[in-house]
A and B are shown apart, each in its own frame.
Chain A
Amino acid sequence: MHLHKYEKIWLLFGIGSLIVFLVVIGVGAFYKGTHPQSHMMTIDPENIEANEAFQPDNLGLTKVDDKQYIVNVAASAFNYDLGKNDDGSLVKKLSIPKGSTVLFQVTSKDVVHGFSLAGTNVNMMVEPGYISSYETILEEPGEYTLLCNEYCGTGHHLMGAIVEVTE
C-alpha cells in the first residue's frame, strides 16, 4: 500500500495522540482511582433516611477530624437539604476552613439534579437511586456558589447555597 509521506506523518501524529490520551485515562482510572461520581453506590430514593449519611441529623456539614469534613446533601426539587441551624432554620451557608479535605455525598429524592461548586472541581450529576460523592481539598478562601446545573424543573434557578472557605 502506498502512503504519501505527509499521510504517514499525520497518521502517526493521530495514533500517537490517541495513545497518549488513553494512557492518561488509564493512569487516572487504574493508578489514581478516578471513577464516576456515583460509583455503584445505590440508595432507595423513596427512603433515603435508611442510609445513615442521609438521616436528618447527619445532613449538612460534619467535622470528622482536624481539617476533615463530610458534607451530606439530600437534593430535591428545588432545594439542597443541608440540615438545620440551631434555631431550626434551614442551612443555606456552610463555613469550612481553608485547606480542609471535604467529602461531598449527595443523593436525590426525585429527579436528576446537578451539584456544582462553581470555581472548583466539585461538579456532579445527582441521580435518584445513586449516591454521588467527590472528595476535594478547598485551598482558596472565598465564597463559592453551590448550584444545580442540571435543569430539574420550574424552580431550578432557585436551587443553590453558599460554601464559604475561611482563612
Chain B
Amino acid sequence: MAGLPKKTDESSTQKKNPELKGTFISVMLLGVFIIVSWAGVYALFMSR
C-alpha cells in the first residue's frame, strides 16, 4: 500500500501540459506549405 500515493503523484505529473510549441510550429509550417502549393496549382489551372 506504500506505492499508492506514489501512483497519484505520477498521474498528476502526467496531467501537466507537455511543451508542444516546436511541434505546433512545424505542423503549421507543413500545413501552410500544403495549402500554398495547392492554391498555386489551383490558380495555375484557373488562369489557363
Question: Which A residues have a C-beta under 8 Å from some C-beta of B?
Answer: 2, 4-7, 9-10, 13-14, 17, 21, 24, 119-121
Contacts and interface: CB of A to CB of B under 8 A. Distances in A.
Given A6-B20, A6-B23, A21-B38, A119 B31 contact: no
21 contacts: A4-B17, A4-B18, A4-B20, A5-B17, A6-B20, A6-B21, A6-B23, A6-B24, A7-B20, A9-B24, A10-B24, A10-B27, A10-B28, A13-B31, A14-B31, A17-B31, A17-B34, A21-B38, A24-B42, A121-B45, A121-B48
A120 B24 contact: no
Overall SS of chain B's interface: helix
Closest 9 CB pairs of A and B: A6-B24, A6-B20, A10-B27, A121-B48, A120-B48, A4-B20, A13-B31, A4-B17, A121-B45
A10 B24 CA distance: 7
Overall SS of chain A's interface: helix
B48 A13 contact: no
Contacts of B23: 6
A10 B42 CA distance: 23
Interface in B1-28: 15, 17-18, 20-21, 23-24, 27-28
A112 to B, nearest CB: 23
B13 to A, nearest CB: 14
Nearest to A24: B42
A24 B42 CA distance: 10
Contacts of A17: 31, 34-35
